[in-house]
Amino acid sequence: MTTVLQHVVRRSILRPFAKSFSSGSPLVDVQVNDKTGVAIVKMGRAPVNGLNTELLGALNDTFDSLEKNKATGMILSSSIPNIYSAGLDISEMYNGTPENLTKFWNTLQSMWINLYSTPLPTVALINGNAPAGGCLLAMSCEYRVMVGSKFVIGLNETQLGLFAPKWFQDTMVSIIGPRQTELALTSGKLFSAQEALKIGLIDELVASEEEALASSDKFFGLFKRIPGYARGQTKNFVRAEVLDWLLKNREHDTKVFLNSIQLPHVQKGLGLYLQSLKKK
């Protein structure tokens, strides 16, 4: 039997995400809670939320609009069952022209800078697998809640013959420390939900999206009495070192990406990996 309290809690979690807010893209759905001002942003690029230039651009525009429209917080999630994001769309990196590769990388950099530095409180509601770029999205939020214990998360780039760029690595270091990051990245480890919880890569593991929304509410509740400016500046200072590296080294980072990704053996490896995914 449902108690009155359970009913009230359930209603308060489910009902308020009613007001839709156009992201301007069919790939990103945004619902704003008209009572709290918290936005739930859901990626919806079938089949696996591969982060291509279009999705990255749409996310970037969404983050900008939410800030401009004074949202009070953001939950970043997915509308695709069992997938948070499969990471960077490998077909964008395979056989791309230098112009397209540059545009792709610059859009990724801008999206990350915006997400990582937003003054909004951010929660990753990880309702599916989150390898590589998917893990980066989640790590760039302030709080991570995974729904269900069957998913994996991590930076597996070395398994593809790639390496995670310095700012991906630094983002992970800031969460689980250099020792665990080195172990994880050199082996391309994808953590199970339990392992991720144990190591602190996720903050909570819950059984349902309802519970994840309740956890998010609780997280946002921490800032109810904290002036936004003080909160935002504090977040800035904590994140400054990781962020400043990319801000100061964007061109260099783009050159490293372009030079490395176009190497014949790297392209060959990407082609084989894509084929292996398609054969499954």
Ligand X SMILES: CCCCC/C=C\CCC/C=C/CC(=O)SCCNC(=O)CCNC(=O)[C@H](O)C(C)(C)COP(=O)(O)OP(=O)(O)OC[C@H]1O[C@@H](n2cnc3c(N)ncnc32)[C@H](O)[C@@H]1OP(=O)(O)O
Question: Which residues are known to be catalytic?
Answer: 88, 133, 156-157
Q: If binding is defined by CB under 6 A, does position 193 make contact with ligand X?
A: no
Q: If binding is defined by CB under 6 A, does position 188 make contact with ligand X?
A: no
Helices (H) and strands (E) in the chain, counts: 10, 11
Q: If binding is defined by CB under 6 A, does position 258 make contact with ligand X?
A: no
Residue 101: how many other CB atoms lie within 10 Å: 19
Q: If binding is defined by CB under 6 A, does position 100 make contact with ligand X?
A: no
Q: If binding is defined by CB under 6 A, does position 257 make contact with ligand X?
A: yes
Sole binder of ligand X in the list 118, 127, 156, 215 (CB under 6 A): 156
Radius of gyration, alpha carbons of the chain: 19
CA distances from 264 to 84, 99, 101, 270, 273 (A): 31, 18, 15, 10, 14
- How far apart CA 126 and CA 152 sit, in angstroms, is 10
Which residues from 196-255 bind ligand X, rule CB under 6 A?
A: none
Q: If binding is defined by CB under 6 A, does position 89 make contact with ligand X?
A: yes
- How far apart CA 43 and CA 74 sit, in angstroms, is 13
CB of 138 to ligand X, least distance (A): 12
Question: Per CB under 6 A, which region of 30-38, 87-95, 115-123, 173-181 contacts ligand X?
Answer: 87-95
Asked if residue 29 lies in contact with residue 46, where contact means CB atoms within 8 angstroms, the answer is: no
In one-letter notation, the amino acid at residue 188 is G
Residue 141 makes CB contacts below 8 A (sequence gap 6+) with: 76, 115, 122, 123, 124
Sole binder of ligand X in the list 32, 42, 43, 50 (CB under 6 A): 50
CB of 244 to ligand X, least distance (A): 20
CA distances from 13 to 6, 33, 71, 116, 247 (A): 11, 10, 17, 26, 38
Encoded one letter per residue, x for contact with ligand X by CB under 6 A and - for no contact, window 10-49 reads -------------------------------------xx-
Which residues from 125-144 bind ligand X, rule CB under 6 A?
A: 129, 131-133
Nearer to ligand X, 12 or 254 (CB): 254
The C-alpha angle with vertex 228 and arms to 107 and 221, in degrees rounded to 5, equals 100
- How far apart CA 239 and CA 2 sit, in angstroms, is 43
Question: Per CB under 6 A, which region of 95-103, 152-160, 201-209, 218-226 contacts ligand X?
Answer: 152-160
Sole binder of ligand X in the list 39, 43, 88, 141 (CB under 6 A): 88
Q: If binding is defined by CB under 6 A, does position 261 make contact with ligand X?
A: yes
List of residues contacting ligand X (CB under 6 A): 47-48, 50, 83, 86-91, 129, 131-133, 156-157, 160, 162-165, 257, 260-261, 266, 277-278, 280
